[in-house]
A = this chain, B = another copy of it.
């Protein structure tokens, strides 16, 4: 049996409709029909009841639907364990990060670690903003440079490395761009470029929901990567709160950064799981030293 077949099955089960599931999976509807029928042949069981209104799970189909997530997770965990061991044997420390990581401290950290562990190499792995843990939650990295606060942060060990004020990024032609300093109240009605909704608390923080006094945020665009984020801002889809360092790391023609009063700063932290090995502990120490 193939994980691809199981993912196809799961999509059909979730959508209740072959046509929509095919769209979600980026395959044609006849391809999906064939694959589902093949899975049913392999098991010798009907998993769906077909009707004009779509595909309803049968009893056995429901049993399979309940177990498939566990199976797929088993696969994922296995791949991660294998890759983690491969990295360990190759003396590679995999560090996830978002956007500008730890700003100027990042090269200091990497250089410091290289001195401490010359046989080892740090591999920086950029994540999208759909995952505020920067790959840590999925086990794709050994530790991560993250931005606080984010949902679930209490599950990780955290070492705050630096704090910086936040500013606002906007297109150069924006009327408010003329003011050298802004107050957050000035921005309440502006459309914002936001992170994906599923990041929950993390997105709320970057929309300064707590400082809005009940004013709902207007969402002009949703982006997951710095490049998309910058494009959306430059194209006037909205403005965005940003770390002050963004003016250095993400300087772009057509985008200006202005200080903002009335919102709390942003903190960069190193996050890691329980029971770090000696190599990761050295990395943690290196981060602490670089943050002083």
Contact = CB atoms under 8 A, between A and B. Distances in A.
Contact of A58 (B67, B81, B89): B89
Given A71-B75, A75-B1, A78-B64, A43 B83 contact: yes
A59 B89 contact: yes
A44 interface: yes
Nearest to A62: B85
Interface residues of A, number: 31
Determine how many copies of this chain the complex contains.
Answer: 2
A63 B75 contact: no
Contacts of A63: 81-82, 84-85
A43 B1 contact: no
Contacts of A75: 1, 71
Contact of A74 (B2, B45, B59, B74): B74
A86 interface: yes
B79 A43 contact: yes
Contacts of A88: 59
A2 B74 CA distance: 13
A45 to B, nearest CB: 4
A118 interface: no
A278 B62 CA distance: 22
Interface in A31-80: 43-47, 58-60, 62-64, 67-68, 70-71, 74-75, 77-79
A2 to B, nearest CB: 5
A153 interface: no
B59 A86 contact: yes
Most chain B beta-carbon contacts within 10 A, residue among A44, A58, A85, A88:
A85
A4 to B, nearest CB: 8
A70 B60 contact: no
